[in-house]
């Protein structure tokens, strides 16, 4: 079994990079939402089929949004290399603020009080979470058995998501739009967790350059991590595109920046042990703050739907 690997923790630098990643994420989602919106109006049916995907690949706005999202992922991975997962990942909720500002700038309309209230609830929940996590969490080595546990949970989650959509198709009832947002966010959380592991292992391999290369269980697990990132990341991207068809950019960003870190943080606490030794009160705060943040996502989705209905009634 390979030795566990770790790196120096620089939480402030990690948090700063996470804010930059959040800005790039909100910009990328805004641009992708515009691209998907244009394509879906030309589509032969609701959803995102092969014909729509082909048009997306020719959309400059969508491609620019994709480049922004890739940059966001790279910056986020850099932030994960500098601080514990449960500190860095929740900072992405600041993308909600950036998304609201971008939407207001694009539509020349200020967000309604309902939307602002829901965003503030999300930020409050995640803000409390990050504040406590920064105090009680520690960067810890990642052992092989922990990595295996993450991969097993990922497989279970993929099977559960597949079951939901199979049942929906059999019953001929469409899946609720918010489930696409949640699926994209959940899988993104696994991608972040596995990405951090790959970073640690690559850094360890680079530090051992010049030594005899050994193809051991650690290499196999790293390759399985990469496979998990590809599968989980690909499906997350697909669900995000479906979300853009059905939901506003703020709702999509909320799913990615609230559900994603909640999943990543649960993995960081339960499996990676980043909060091992933390006092009981901090665990209670984590649970309550996480529940508040998730509630904010539902409130934001409801607020957006209500605003759309009011706008449609006013124009009719």
83 backbone dihedrals φ, ψ, rounded to 5°: -150, 160
pTM of model > 0.85 = no
Pseudo-torsion of CA 225, 231, 235, 240, nearest 10°?
40
pLDDT value of position 316: 63
Locus of tokens 């032969």 = 44
Give mean pLDDT, residues 69-97. 79
pLDDT of residue 186 exceeding 80, the answer is yes
> Residue 261 in contact with residue 89, Cβ under 8 Å?
yes
pLDDT value of position 10: 65
pLDDT of residue 14 exceeding 90, the answer is no
Give 53-77 pLDDT, tens digit per residue: 777 777 888 889 889 888 888 888 8
Give mean pLDDT, residues 216-231. 84
| Burial letters 105-138, b for 16+ CB under 10 A, else e | eeeeeebeeebeebbebbbebbbbbbebbbebbe
Looking only at Cα atoms, what is the longest distance across the chain?
A: 73
The token pair that represents 271 in the structure block: 């499996």
Highest mean pLDDT range out of 133-137, 139-143, 288-292? 288-292
pLDDT value of position 188: 86
Locus of tokens 């951090």 = 196
pLDDT of residue 189 exceeding 90, the answer is no
Locus of tokens 């309902």 = 114
pLDDT value of position 205: 65
pLDDT of residue 155 exceeding 90, the answer is yes
Give mean pLDDT, residues 147-165. 90
pLDDT value of position 83: 76
| DSSP state, residue 142 | B
pLDDT of residue 180 exceeding 80, the answer is yes
pLDDT of residue 3 exceeding 60, the answer is no
Give mean pLDDT, residues 124-131. 81
**Which neighbouring-strand residues pair with 5?**
142
Give mean pLDDT, residues 161-190. 84
Lowest mean pLDDT of 19-33, 92-106, 107-121, 179-193, name the range.
92-106
**Which neighbouring-strand residues pair with 177?**
none
């Amino acid at each position: 079994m390979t030795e566990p690997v770790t790196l120096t923790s620089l939480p402030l630098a990690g948090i700063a990079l996470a804010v930059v990643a959040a800005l790039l994420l909100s910009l990328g989602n805004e641009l992708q939402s515009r691209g998907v919106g244009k394509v879906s109006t030309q589509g032969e049916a609701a959803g995102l089929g092969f014909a729509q995907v082909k048009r997306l690949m020719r959309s400059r706005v969508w491609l620019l949004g994709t480049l922004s999202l890739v940059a966001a992922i790279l910056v986020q991975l850099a932030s994960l290399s500098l601080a514990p997962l449960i500190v860095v990942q929740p900072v992405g909720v600041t993308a909600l603020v950036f998304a609201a500002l971008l939407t207001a700038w694009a539509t020349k309309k200020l967000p309604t009080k309902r939307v602002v209230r829901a965003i503030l609830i999300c930020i409050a929940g995640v803000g409390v979470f990050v504040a406590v996590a920064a105090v009680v969490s520690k960067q810890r080595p990642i052992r092989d058995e922990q990595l295996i546990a993450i991969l097993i949970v990922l497989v279970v989650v993929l099977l559960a998501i597949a079951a939901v959509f199979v049942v929906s198709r059999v019953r001929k009832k469409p899946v609720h739009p918010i489930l696409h947002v949640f699926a994209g966010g959940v899988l993104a959380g696994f991608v972040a967790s596995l990405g951090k592991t790959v970073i640690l292992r690559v850094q360890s391999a680079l530090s051992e350059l010049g030594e005899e290369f050994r193809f051991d269980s650690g290499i196999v697990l790293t390759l399985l991590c990469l496979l998990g990132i590809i599968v989980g990341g690909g499906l997350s991207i697909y669900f995000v595109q479906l979300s853009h068809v059905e939901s506003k950019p703020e709702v999509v960003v909320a799913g990615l920046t609230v559900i994603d870190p909640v999943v990543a943080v649960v993995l960081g606490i339960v499996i990676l042990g980043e909060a091992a030794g933390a006092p009981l009160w901090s665990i209670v705060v984590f649970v309550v703050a996480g529940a508040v943040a998730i509630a904010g996502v539902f409130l934001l989705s409801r607020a957006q739907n209500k605003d759309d209905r009011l706008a449609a009634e006013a124009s009719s």
